[in-house]
Structure 1
């Protein structure tokens, strides 16, 4: 019997991302001559092999690891 994975795509907010951070991240992914090609390649790879829920898990894990690395 298969158990349906729990969705992590919504719910109460734990962290805030301000609009300036989001805008800069989009610039890095779409326009930066050094970062954009690398980040677009990673995104294409993740999007082609991971479900939406898996991509959300990866995004939240990356945010948490970034948060933890700045606290040390």
Structure 2
């Protein structure tokens, strides 16, 4: 990466507007936006862990 700047996480154009609309819709449906986002984060981590379970197990063995 010599000569390249690390790209910072930038929200796409219109992100905040759509996020607010999603919050309003979900609130109207009686669903917590933040509970929903938290669930999505958990799904990403779980899927990552399942996909990489063998590598994770090997790393755990190295620590013992």
TM-score, shorter chain, exceeding 0.5: no
Larger of the two Rg values belongs to structure: 2
TM-score, length of structure 1 as denominator length: 0.40
Which structure has more RCO (C-alpha within 8 Å, separation ≥ 6)? Answer: 1
TM-score, length of structure 2 as denominator length: 0.44
